[in-house]
Structure 1
């Protein structure tokens, strides 16, 4: 029970404590700031789109693997039930 409380506390601490960070490296940020100061905002929006693309892909892959795994387990379970 003590391990469960410690685990729960640790998970809550990680969820509640937030650290402010910048999503871009120093070179990307300097490039975007330079282009924005010159009036070109397309590079900044393209960079943000790329960051979102890289952020979503691992979750999408995990979801597809989970769905395939679930279907295979369901199919295997139905085969065992027919025996």
Structure 2
């Protein structure tokens, strides 16, 4: 159990620092003087990418929990 918690925390910390821009977005946003728009685009892409994974993980946990309670 301890290994699972450590793995989850390690994965979550790596996820926070993700940079998620396509090549075209990066080229357009690097030409600007201020990098605030690029940071906003990165945050938006990571946010949109995270929601489906969180939902699937929640549904998987719910199914796992129900399956184990029915077994007992």
The TM-score normalised by the length of structure 2 is 0.56
Indicate the structure (1 or 2) with the bigger Cα radius of gyration. Answer: 1
Q: Note the aligned Cα RMSD (angstroms).
A: 2.1
Counterparts of residues 1-83 of structure 1 (less than 5 Å): 23-26=21-24, 28-35=25-32, 38=33, 40-78=34-72
- Please report how far the alpha carbon of residue 69 of structure 1 lies from its aligned counterpart in structure 2 after TM superposition: 0.2
Structure 2, gaps ≥5 residues long:
1-19
Count of aligned pairs between the two proteins: 53
- 2:22 is paired with a residue whose SS is coil
In structure 2, C-alpha distance between the alignment counterparts of 1:68 and 1:41, rounded to whole Å: 41
| Structure possessing the higher relative contact order (Cα contacts under 8 Å, 6 or more residues apart) | 2
Match of 1:9 in 2: none
- Please report how far the alpha carbon of residue 57 of structure 1 lies from its aligned counterpart in structure 2 after TM superposition: 2.0
The TM-score normalised by the length of structure 1 is 0.50
